[in-house]
Amino acid sequence: MSPFVEFSVHTAWRRCRLPVWWFGTACSPNVCQVAGGQQFIAGGHVVLDDPLCCLQTSPFTGDTGVQEHCTSDAEVFKSFAVKPCGCLLCSCHAFGISLQDQKHEQSIYLCIWKSKFSYRIFPVFTNPLLKFRYYQNVCTQSYSSVWWDWRRWEQEIDWMALNGVNLPLAFTGQEALWQEVYLGLGLNQTDIDSFFTGPAFLAWNRMGNLVQWGGPLSSSWHIKQLYLQYRILQRMRALGMMPVLPAFSGIVPKAITRLFPQAKVTKLGPWSNFNCSYSCAYVLEPSDPLFQRIGSLFLSKLLAEFGTDHIYNTDTFNEMTPTSSDPVYLSAVSRSVFASMTSVDSQAIWLMQGWLFVNNPTFWKQEQIKALLHGVPIGRMIVLDLFAESMPVFSSTSSFYGQPFIWCMLHNFGGNSGLFGTVENINMGPFEALRYPNSTLVGLGMAPEGIEQNPVVYELMSELAWHWEPIDLYKWASLYAARRYGVSHENLTDSWKLLFHSVYNCTVPKYKNHNHSPLVRRPTMHMNTDLWYNPRDLYEAWRLMYLSAKPLMSVETFRYDLVDVTRQALQLLTTQLYLEIKDAFQKQNLPKLLTAGGLLVSDLLPELDRLLSSESHFLLGLWLEQARALAQDKHEAEQYEVNARNQITLWGPEGNILDYASKEWGGLMGDYYTQRWSLFVNTLVQCLDRGKPFNQDAFNQAVFQVEKNFTINQKKYPSKPQGDTYDIVTRIFLKYYPKALKRLN
């Protein structure tokens, strides 16, 4: 008999498992009562129809689990601390185990992020560590969820609930309300169209970094996003969350200066390699009466439309330098921003990203930080210490000078592919913040710029919110494979221990996970090839995973991990081949250049493209299909596709933030990255043939045409997997594993 039984949780989730022993021995008698009369029967097949559907009254309270639907001899599961349609899961006191119990840690599995992962839920015998469990980043709305429909949003919100999140961002649809505000102030549609960016770049429009690029926004976009926000908020609140809504920061369209010529408006400088055609924000001075008028108009519309949980996010000076460093001025800015909130909602709390302090430490000295924070009454602002796992701010600001803060793991920039983690920092950091003298820590958070990558890191981080001290990472990693795949195998256990010891344990100070691999960067003769881990560990983890692969290929979580680890191995090999190409060119060794360059361009990269195309979670076609699906007509579909293509490649009209949001996806690997590398190798060969030096500027001009053509062509890519993953991995492993080891010697 299989040690696991199927457990259907949600239509968006393919398969979830509970061990049979849980049904038979966890409770006494052999049944655990479920709200609404359903029961867990030993060894049976349990089906709960959408257990997170229509909730009754107020669900879970944030600090403690809901007890109402459980008998006195039961404890509520941490993430099912809700009251859904008579399907609340309860576990029995007879479980008799602690959170660290090995048997327990292999207990329950649920699926997350597009059904591709399993997830474990454990009973809570204590309250959570802190009040808030925050989730998302303002950039996540563009890098990951920009093209989501309701089905995908519903799955994500359920994932939040299953991970105990109670403070998520909810920014969708706000442009429809901003348009109403601006039209009411006298702006015309042309003024508004020249302000809003396209969908893929709205995060930076909202923060005042970017205007117009990729736009305009159609009326159909506004209507669909507004309707989507209604459903998002209903679901979040039904699951006991406190959605964080947007507020006014002072950024206004340029047309405000025409309509209100007496208003005190300052034009800031350009942002991140963009010129003033697409950046140079206009900021309304906080002392101007128009500031309060616009801020209160927007928030009034917002509350009338969506209701409120009294927590609002807005970010002043995100990656922009204020016009004055005078503490009086900075306090006035934050005071005015907060006043525009409290004029509408007297209970308002301002949730502010602390990224500006990390991004521009030259400007934000102690005096300036304190002034900005103290413009708001203590306790009415919560600061997100956004990159706390690598560059915490709380410890250099006396715990944000008394304002409450949330310790956040940023982890990922741009939604890049690539294995990465800082597990030791993640495991220790929250507890160091908690024990910091006079700490004002009130929560833990996950704030990646992009999601759907490195799921192990997010499982670890979300679990820490329910511990009171660091966990045993060695033990946690040892059990991870069994939890994730539903089977216990020595090779898989050893593989994950190696990954945790190496690629997932970056200890380089202030390291930012941008995936600097030459594979996904425009080729030059001076590329970053540094690593924070030993490649030998990664190759050995790959070998161990491959040796266990054949009987597990039907397990979605395993198949995803096998592709991801194989992808990482080929990424490493690309770096090694790049170094050989560079060395051959510098030594004018044409045969060696042809050998290394030919292997990279004609074999390794095409194999990598085939590998990625075989797994549903690494497909360019799916990203483009989702973008086009939101369009009302052909013209809009083409606009959205250009948005989608540009963001993951050029990021701007001229490669302004080139490759920042790189992805290793099937289709993108073949028609974008491979083409760049092919041009680079051919250019070097021609230089040696003609006895000329390599001209980087000339190459940049030539390769830009390759990059630009990719963003505007309309080639269709499969949105479903192509080929047999196991066969492809086997071919790659047998061909490249020996080559990888040889290059290490």
Residues facing residue 132 across a β-bridge: 443
pLDDT at 127: 67
Q: Which two tokens stand for residue 304?
A: 């009338």
Contact 74, 39 (CB under 8 A): no
Query: Is the pLDDT at 515 greater than 70, yes or no?
Result: yes
Lowest mean pLDDT among 64-73, 167-176, 626-635, 731-740: 64-73
pLDDT at 82: 31
Choose between 274 and 22: higher pLDDT.
274
- Position 104 confidence tier, pLDDT thresholds 50, 70, 90: very low
Query: Is the pLDDT at 5 greater than 80, yes or no?
Result: no
- Other Cβ atoms less than 10 A from the Cβ of 206: the count is 26
**DSSP string across 31-68:** EEE-GGG-EEETT--EE-S-TTSSB-SS---SSS---T
**Residues whose CB falls within 8 Å of the CB of residue 91, separated by 6 or more in sequence, listed in order:** 26, 27, 32, 74, 75, 77, 123
**Residues whose CB falls within 8 Å of the CB of residue 246, separated by 6 or more in sequence, listed in order:** 171, 174, 206, 302, 312, 313, 314
Q: How far is CA 245 from the centre of its chain?
A: 19
pLDDT at 287: 87
Average confidence score pLDDT of the chain:
86
**Residues whose CB falls within 8 Å of the CB of residue 169, separated by 6 or more in sequence, listed in order:** 135, 136, 137, 138, 140, 141, 243, 244, 313
Mutual orientation of helices 473-485 and 490-501 as an angle, nearest 10°? 130
pTM of the complete model: 0.87
Q: How far is CA 349 from CA 383, 527, 657, in A?
A: 11, 45, 33
> What is the C-alpha separation between 523 and 659, in angstroms, rounded?
11
Lowest mean pLDDT among 22-26, 122-126, 303-307, 350-354: 22-26
Dump pLDDT digits (tens) for 328-379: 999 999 999 999 999 999 999 999 999 999 999 999 999 999 999 999 999 9
Query: Is the pLDDT at 60 greater than 50, yes or no?
Result: no
Q: Give the H/E segment covering residue 158.
A: helix 150-162
- Position 643 confidence tier, pLDDT thresholds 50, 70, 90: very high
Residue ranges and CATH numbers for the domains of the chain are: 4-119 (no CATH), 132-473 (3.20.20.80), 494-744 (1.20.120.670)
Query: Is the pLDDT at 120 greater than 60, yes or no?
Result: no
Strands 349-353 and 311-313, by their bridges, are parallel
Query: Is the pLDDT at 2 greater than 70, yes or no?
Result: no
* Burial of 295 from C-beta contacts in 10 A (0-12 / 13-18 / 19+): buried
Query: Is the pLDDT at 561 greater than 80, yes or no?
Result: yes
Dump pLDDT digits (tens) for 471-494: 999 999 999 999 999 998 999 999
Percent share of the chain, pLDDT over 70:
83
Contact 342, 248 (CB under 8 A): no
End-to-end CA distance of the chain: 47
Comparing CA positions, the residue from 681, 672, 711, 673 lying closest to residue 699 is 681
> What is the C-alpha separation between 653 and 585, in angstroms, rounded?
32
Dump pLDDT digits (tens) for 176-219: 999 999 999 999 999 999 999 999 999 999 999 999 999 999 99
